[in-house]
Amino acid sequence: MVQEQQQVSDVLLKNPNIDSFFSAVGVSGRNSAVNQGTILISLKPRDQRIGADAVIDQLRSKLNHLVGLRVYIQNVPTITIDGPATKSQYQYTMQELDQDVLFSFAPKLKDKLARLPGFINVTSDLQIAQP
């Protein structure tokens, strides 16, 4: 995972809008698995860069081409009052008493949302497959 995260760091170093960033790999406060990483980015002052959403679009177009990685970028709100950290600005929680129904329906909903206009980087934290 370290090499993969280094690929992301290489892209970030080339972006003139980024002032600095911090990169961590493995289990930590936000990560629950050793094959995940987190990067926190600080942008240059507003008068020295393009808008944050435009920077995200630039990074997303470059990072989506990296092989072996799924990168989720979000402009984190200044204040959040909610549950656990997510991979995006919005989250939807599905609950079902019958595990088989949940396992069947969750991927279908994810795929349908991913095809709708305006949805980017739709993901699910449901892990059905066993190694």
Residue 114 domain-assigned (yes or no) = yes
Whole-model pTM above 0.75? no
Q: Answer with the one of 79, 102, 118 that is the final residue of a domain.
A: 79
State the burial class of residue 41 (Cβ atoms within 10 Å of its Cβ: 0-12, 13-18, 19+): buried
On whether both 58 and 112 belong to a single domain, the answer is no
Residue 87 domain-assigned (yes or no) = no
CB 125 within 8 A of CB 91: no
Residue 84 domain-assigned (yes or no) = no
On whether both 56 and 12 belong to a single domain, the answer is yes
Residue 85 domain-assigned (yes or no) = no
- The pair of structure tokens assigned to 7 is 């690929």
User: What does the pLDDT read at residue 42?
Assistant: 93
Q: What is the DSSP letter of 75?
A: -
Residue-number span of the structural domain to which 60 is assigned: 2-79
Question: What's the pLDDT tens digit per position in 90-117?
Answer: 777 777 888 888 888 888 988 998 899 9
pLDDT band at 48 (very low <50, low <70, confident <90, very high): very high
Which H/E stretch holds residue 52? helix 52-63
Q: Which residue has the tokens 């200044």?
A: 78
Give backbone dihedrals phi and psi of 96, rounded to 5 degrees, phi first. -160, 135
